[in-house]
Amino acid sequence: MRNFISRELFWYIVMGILTTLINFVTFYLLLYWWKFDFKIATSIAWIVSVLFAYITNKIIVFKSKTFNFGGMLKELLSFYSFRLLSYFIDIGLMIVLINYLHMNESYSKILVNILIIVINYIISKVYIFKRV
C-alpha cells in the first residue's frame, strides 16, 4: 500500500508542477505579452490548465479505468465542477490579493496556486477518481 500511495503522490506532484507551469506560462503570456486584464488572463489560463490536468490525472496519476461514455462523462463533469470551485477560489483570492492588498501579480499567483494544488489533490483523490 505504501508504494501505491508514494507512486500516486509522486505523479500528482509531477503533473501538478506541469499543470501549474502551463497555468503560469499562459497567464504571463496573456498578461504581459498580449496585455490582457489579469482576470481574463487567469480565466483563460485556468481553462487551458484544467484540460491538461484532467487528462493527466485520469491517465497517469489516478489510473482511472473508467472508459465507458457514462462513467467518463460523470468523471469529467465532477472534475470540471470541482475545478470550477477551485477557479472561483483562484480568481477571488487573486482579486483580493491584487486589488485590495496591493500584492504583486506574480507573488499572488504563486501563493494562490499552492493553495489550489492542495485543494485539488484532496478533491480528486476523495471524490473524482476514488477507487471503488
| Residues 41-84 pLDDT 10s | 989 998 899 889 988 998 999 888 888 898 888 888 888 898 89
pLDDT for res 11:
92
Is the pTM of the predicted complex or chain greater than 0.75? no
Q: How far separated are the first and last CA of the chain, in Å rounded?
A: 16
- Cell digits for 104? 504583486
Residue 11 grid coordinates: 505523479
